[in-house]
Amino acid sequence: MPTYVGIMGWPVAHSRSPAMHNAAFEALGMDWEYLFLPVAPAHVDDAVRGLRALGFAGANVTVPHKQAVMSALDRVTVEARAIGAVNTIVNRDGVLEGHNTDAIGFLRALREGGFEPRDCRAVVLGAGGAARAIVYALLAARATVTVANRTLSRARRLADELGALFRAHVSTIPLNAVQALEAALARADLLVNATSVGMAPHADACPLPEEVAIPPSLTLYETVYTPRETALVARARRAGATTIDGLGMLLHQGAVAFELWTGTPPPLDVMRRALEAQ
C-alpha cells in the first residue's frame, strides 16, 4: 500500500500541489501518493481526524480551511499559531501537528529571486492569511513593514498582533490612500502583493491604485501565480522595477512540507518543472 498525503480545500480541483508532489515521489521512486481531498466546511474536524484514522502521513490545507483545522489538531507550532493559519499537517505516530510553511517558503523564494530581506523596508498589500505569513517572515528578518489593506481594521489587527510579537512598529494604510501609498513606496525596497487581486479570471485587476507611481528601484514580489504575469507585474516591469512571480513561494512551501512528511530532501528541480508544466 502506498503512503498517502493530500490537499484539503473547498474547492480544491484547481490545486497544483498534487502534480508537484507526485512528480517528486515518482522521481525518487517512493511509493507515496498525493490526493485531492475536497472537504466541505461543515466536515473539517472529521476530515482532520480522518487523516489519523486512515493512516495518512499528513496533508496540506488551503482556502478556506487554514484557520478552521487548528482546533482539531493535537499541536500547532508557535509560528503557525502566531500567523493564525496552518497549511501543513504532519501525522507523527498518531499525533497531528500543524505547521505553516508559507512564511519560510516566501523567504526562500525571495532570496532565490535575488532579494535579501534582512533590514529592508517593505510594503505589503493585503492582510489575509498569506499577508500574515509574509509579514511574520519579514519581521523575523528585521524588516520595517507597512501593511496596506482594503479593510483597514484587518490590517491594524495584523499590525498589532505581529508587531507585539516582534516588538516592532508595523504601519498601516488603507489600500486606496494614494498619497500615503506613494510616500511609503518611495521609501521602500520591497513591495509584496498578498491580496488575491489579479488572480484569474480577473487577471486585468491590479491591487495598486493607477495613480501610484512604482519606483524603478523597487523589487515586487507577487504571490498570485495564475496568471504567471499579473497586471501588477506587467506594470512594475514597465516602470523598470525588478519582479519575482508567485511560483517560487508555491514551490518552496511545498518543498518544506515534503521534507516534514518524508524526512527526505525534496527534488526541487523536478517539483519546479511539474509546476511550470501546468
Alpha carbons within 13 A on the beta-carbon side of 214: 25
Count Cβ atoms within 10 A of the Cβ of residue 190 and give its class: 0-12 exposed, 13-18 middle, 19 or more buried.
buried
Q: Choose which of 39, 208, 249, 255 interacts with ligand NAP (CB under 6 A).
A: 249
First to last CA, the chain: 28
C-alpha cell at 219: 523589487
Report the alpha-carbon distance of residue 194 to residue 202 in Å, rounded. 15
Catalytic status, residue 212: no
Give the per-residue contact string, 80-119, with ligand NAP (x = CB under 6 A; - = no).
----------------------x-----------------
Catalytic-role residue among 16, 21, 65, 66: 66
Q: Choose which of 3, 22, 196, 242 interacts with ligand NAP (CB under 6 A).
A: 196
Q: Choose which of 28, 141, 199, 203 interacts with ligand NAP (CB under 6 A).
A: 199
Segment interacting with ligand NAP, rule: CB under 6 A, options 177-185, 209-217, 218-226, 263-271: 218-226
Report the alpha-carbon distance of residue 178 to residue 153 in Å, rounded. 18
Nearer to ligand NAP, 35 or 152 (CB): 152
Closest residue by Cα to residue 220 from 122, 94, 86, 77:
122
Q: Nearest approach, Cβ of 187 to ligand NAP (angstroms)?
A: 22
Query: Is residue 203 helix, strand or coil?
Result: coil
Q: Considering the rule CB under 6 A, would residue 131 count as an interface residue with ligand NAP?
A: yes
Residues, the chain: 278
Q: Nearest approach, Cβ of 63 to ligand NAP (angstroms)?
A: 6
Nearer to ligand NAP, 144 or 253 (CB): 253
Report the alpha-carbon distance of residue 41 to residue 65 in Å, rounded. 7
Closest residue by Cα to residue 233 from 251, 217, 221, 218:
221
Check: CB of residue 8 under 8 Å from CB of residue 69: yes
Nearer to ligand NAP, 48 or 257 (CB): 257
Segment interacting with ligand NAP, rule: CB under 6 A, options 20-28, 45-53, 146-154, 180-188: 146-154
Residue type, 93: D
Give the per-residue contact string, 152-191, with ligand NAP (x = CB under 6 A; - = no).
--x--------------------x----------------
Closest residue by Cα to residue 247 from 6, 25, 86, 17:
17
Q: Choose which of 150, 157, 235, 237 interacts with ligand NAP (CB under 6 A).
A: 150
Q: Considering the rule CB under 6 A, would residue 271 count as an interface residue with ligand NAP?
A: no
Binding site for ligand NAP (CB under 6 A): 63, 102, 126-131, 149-151, 154, 175, 194-197, 199, 207, 223-225, 246, 249-250, 253
